[in-house]
Amino acid sequence: MIYFVTGNRGKFEEAKGILGDVEQRNVGYTEIQADSLEEVAAFGIEEVKEKLDGPVMIEDAGLFIESLKGFPGVYSAYIFDTIGNEGILRLMDGIEDRRAVFRSVLGYAEPGMEPIFFRGELEGEITAEPRGSGGFGYDPIFEVGGKTIAEMEIAEKNEISHRGASICALERWLASR
């Protein structure tokens, strides 16, 4: 059993779909303001492993839009809560280069071990308007192969997603031990 520290039910469901034996714990941790997802995850996992006894994981992710110089990036959650998908689409109005990448950094630790980190990325494009009713966050405006993440079933999303990639990397590491 791994404790996945997150308040985001969607993230938890993705992890459970891949790892199976995961329990959501919303004990919270400090999400520092930093220049990289790795720094945020490294700080958070140290705090989390002190709060819970057992294997723990956290995940930090961001949407990096090429034409906006990587914005919202490490501030993705705050920006989503502040301006939402509609605000991002307004920022993208009239911009032809709509390339973007979702990045995920997953931190994992067990009692007595130094944390390790797994990364995942998903390249796509920002749509002109939201599509689909599944997923969460930026999923309705992030398109891969003609379909937004919000138009995909969770199994299909897990096969290609940035978070799915980092969770699968953890799964492979656990299986190799």
Tell me what percent of the residues of the chain surpass a pLDDT of 90: 84
For residue 155, the model assigns a pLDDT of: 83
Domain housing 150: 2-176
- In degrees rounded to 5, what are phi and psi of residue 111? -55, 130
Residues written for the chain:
177
Q: Which two tokens stand for residue 42?
A: 């490294």
Does the annotation count 81 as an active-site position? no
**Catalytic option among 35, 53, 60, 139:** 60
d(CA 135, CA 145): 17
CA distances from 47 to 10, 13, 68, 105, 134 (A): 22, 23, 32, 16, 32
**Number of domains into which the chain is organized:** 1
CA gap 15, 38 in Å, rounded? 19
Domain holding 81: CATH number?
A: 3.90.950.10
Q: How do residues 32-64 score in pLDDT, each as one tens digit?
A: 889 999 999 999 999 999 999 999 999 999 999
Q: Which residues contact 175 (CB under 8 A, 6 or more apart)?
A: none
Contact 45, 56 (CB under 8 A): yes
Q: Residue 55 contacts by C-beta under 8 Å, 6 or more apart in sequence?
A: 1, 2, 3, 108, 109, 110
DSSP summary character for residue 93: T
Give tens-digit pLDDT for 118-142.
999 999 999 999 999 988 899 999 9
- Residue 152 confidence (pLDDT) above 90: yes
